[in-house]
Amino acid sequence: MKLRDLGRVRQVFRRVRNSIAPGALILMYHRIADEDSDPWGLCVKPQHFAKHLEVLRKMVRPLQLHQLTQEMDAGTRLHRSVALTFDDGYIDNLQNAKPLLERFDLPATVFVSTGYTGQDREFWWDELERLFLQPRQLPETLQLKIEGQHYQWELGTDAHYSQEAFARDRLWQAEHQKTPSVRHSLYYSIWRLLQPLREEVRRQLLDELLTWADAKPQARATHRPLTQAEVLDLERESPIEVGAHTVMHPFLSALPISSQKQEIQQSKTHLEEILGHPVRSFAYPYGDYTKDTIAVVREAGFTCACSTNKGSVKRQSDRFQLPRVGVKDWDGDEFARRLARWFDV
């Protein structure tokens, strides 16, 4: 066989090997915290996260997200490579995640929604949880007008929510379990109604709910978003890189293209002003986007974007629809089992 032919055979072999190899994983976290109520399963306890990092240090090849995309472009075999990501920009990413990442010398990317930085308000889904799923007395009737439609709910005896009832129901998961009370049903119904709304409409309705519940908008210290100074601290002498996650965490597909451009470009510009360097990566809020959204992200100057589509990353994966695997509050043994299953080893 001629050397030229041998070279071609090797190229074909590498392409086939890379196409069938398990590929890389991008892990998706949100919070590193131990909360009494976590209806969307966003929290991983710090002690469990430490075990996750210990497992990753032993079992895989950790990479920064931008390094992963560079290796994809270079045609490098991605087998057993893992990148860590965090969505939203909670204070515990700095207080709890960063020290553990530094201890294990593992890189990560934190995607920040810039409109919440420095605001003494919680993310809207947390504000809703505080109103409905924490012990408090609420009025027996709730009336709202949403996008021209009138809604009315009756809480009945569930207008009162005791500490005992909270302790009984606090582990409820909105995605997988039946609602244990009228309050939980109401919480979930309003969450679904608010999620696709424009930010100004949603904020107005949240303000109405706060007034109705006789509650203040002030954020809990445990749930607050990062400030601008804390976003900068994330990267300081750290293996963490900051990425963009829009301004106000909208359902992008529900917005006109002009509004999508504002959300995407302004988040990038704002972070670059804070950090003093280009921001390369983006994550779609809720994993929601269209073909037009992808085009906007490309035009904004990002080099990659993460979705919430489940799966492993291959060399041929679309850099602007990178799949991720969501991580829950598993102990170290369960995390190791799942990691092995994801890699099919």
CATH code at position 111 = 3.20.20.370
CA–CA separation, 168 and 177 (whole Å): 14
Residues 142 and 110 in one domain: no
More reliable by pLDDT, 125 or 78: 125
Q: What is the pLDDT of residues 116-125, one digit of tens each?
A: 999 999 999 9
Residue 6 lies in a domain: no
Q: Which of 26, 92, 88, 44 lies closest to 318 in space, CA to CA? A: 26
Q: What is the pLDDT of residues 25-60, one digit of tens each?
A: 999 999 999 999 999 999 999 999 999 999 999 999
Residue 49 lies in a domain: yes
For 13, which DSSP code? H
What is the value of pTM for the model shown? 0.92
Residue 5 lies in a domain: no
Residues 98 and 48 in one domain: yes
Residues 228 and 128 in one domain: no
Residues 40 and 73 in one domain: yes
**Which pLDDT does position 343 carry in this prediction?**
84
CA–CA separation, 90 and 32 (whole Å): 9
The H-assigned helical ranges of 95-236 are: 98-104, 124-132, 163-169, 182-194, 199-213, 228-235
**Which pLDDT does position 234 carry in this prediction?**
98
The number of folded domains in the chain is 2
Domain boundary among 213, 232, 250: 213
The mean pLDDT of 67-91, rounded to a whole number, is: 94
Residues 192 and 74 in one domain: no
**Which pLDDT does position 221 carry in this prediction?**
97
The mean pLDDT of 259-285, rounded to a whole number, is: 98
CA–CA separation, 214 and 210 (whole Å): 6
Residues 150 and 178 in one domain: yes
Domain that includes residue 162, residue range: 124-213
**Which pLDDT does position 5 carry in this prediction?**
52
Residue 7 lies in a domain: no
**Which pLDDT does position 124 carry in this prediction?**
97
Residues 154 and 265 in one domain: no
Kindly tell me if the per-residue pLDDT of 22 is higher than 50.
Answer: yes
Kindly tell me if the per-residue pLDDT of 65 is higher than 60.
Answer: yes
Residues 292 and 204 in one domain: no
Kindly tell me if the per-residue pLDDT of 69 is higher than 70.
Answer: yes
Residues 165 and 314 in one domain: no
Tally of CB atoms within 10 A around 313: 26
Give the pLDDT band of residue 345 (cuts 50, 70, 90).
very low
Q: What are phi and psi of 112, to 5 degrees?
A: -110, 130
**Which pLDDT does position 20 carry in this prediction?**
40
